[in-house]
Amino acid sequence: MKTKITSGISLVIPVYNEQDLVVPCLSRCVSSLSQDFETFEIIVVDDGSTDKTAEILESMALTENRIRPLKNLINLNFGCSVLRGMAAATLEYVVPNAIDLPLAPESLAPLVEQAEKCDILVLERTSYSGYVPWRILTSWTNRRLLKILFAHETKGTSDFNFTQIYRRSVLRKIWPLAKSPAFWNPEMIFRGRRLGLRIESRAVEYYPRKSGKGSFGKPHDIMWALYDMFRFRLLTIFRNSYGRAG
């Protein structure tokens, strides 16, 4: 019989108007996590969907109590939604993912085992397959800006915008000011490094979306991320506390 991991895992998945993906995504996650973990929860944050996403989530939660739906009354964007889900997590390790599962849930068991040796495990994509030219350009530009503005914090890591595995016990210490889709997670990692937390990296396979259209890379999201990025850089220069959220 396969030995299950005793550490509990909170999987956080924001969703917006993805009624066709909800059932296959959550069914796959429940099946995979049931095999590998003794305790888990799947926190699904409905970011103000206007289709049948909310109804489907409520229906699934009635038959599977490890699915915990949260609902934003209005669309707040990916960053706000994932942070809300992480704040609601109750188990030892917290892992953000997306509804199209770019991080395969079947890969979580060995990753959590490695995460037990650190406070934050940064997962870095082995490829950017499926990216359109615009996403390739914006991702490359984002990585270059992070390296230029935060040379110390980015040393030894090349990908801050896929996902991470956090010990829930450190989340309050590194909670970000940023809410933009592209800077909330780099800021949390940078805060962790400045506090001397144990941070490791691990290369993982990235699985591109097979249907529908992703929402990242929009001009207003780019401007929002730039604002968050430069604000945090200024805080690191002028404040010893670097604006740590309470």
Residue pLDDT, tens place only, 197-238:
999 999 999 999 876 655 566 888 999 999 999 999 999 887
Residue pLDDT, tens place only, 157-191:
999 999 999 999 999 999 999 999 999 999 999 99
Q: With respect to residue 193, please indicate whether it lies within any of the assigned structural domains.
A: yes
Residue pLDDT, tens place only, 96-116:
999 999 999 999 999 999 999
Q: With respect to residue 221, please indicate whether it lies within any of the assigned structural domains.
A: yes
What is the pLDDT at residue 211? 66
What is the pLDDT at residue 240? 56
Q: With respect to residue 195, please indicate whether it lies within any of the assigned structural domains.
A: yes
- Measured on CA atoms in the order 55, 57, 61, 63, is the torsion positive or negative? positive
Q: pTM for this one?
A: 0.93
3-12, 33-42, 82-91, 212-221: lowest mean pLDDT where?
212-221
Quick one: DSSP state of residue 6?
-
Residues 6+ apart with CB under 8 A from 94: 9, 10, 12, 86, 165, 166, 167, 168, 171
Q: What's the number of domains the chain is made of? A: 1
Q: With respect to residue 171, please indicate whether it lies within any of the assigned structural domains.
A: yes
User: Are the C-beta atoms of 163 and 246 separated by less than 8 Å?
Assistant: no
Residue 138 pLDDT greater than 60, yes or no: yes
Q: With respect to residue 153, please indicate whether it lies within any of the assigned structural domains.
A: yes
Q: With respect to residue 246, please indicate whether it lies within any of the assigned structural domains.
A: no
Residue with tokens 């109590």: 65
20-24, 78-82, 130-134, 211-215: lowest mean pLDDT where?
211-215
What is the pLDDT at residue 135? 81
Residue 246 pLDDT greater than 90, yes or no: no
Show the domain range for 54.
Answer: 9-238
Backbone angles phi, psi at 36, to 5 degrees: -105, -20
Name the more confident of 130 and 115.
115
User: Are the C-beta atoms of 28 and 108 separated by less than 8 Å?
Assistant: no
Q: Could you tell me the CATH number of the domain that includes residue 155?
A: 3.90.550.10
Torsion region of 196: left, alpha or beta (phi above 0 gives left; psi -120 to 50 gives alpha): left
What is the pLDDT at residue 15? 98
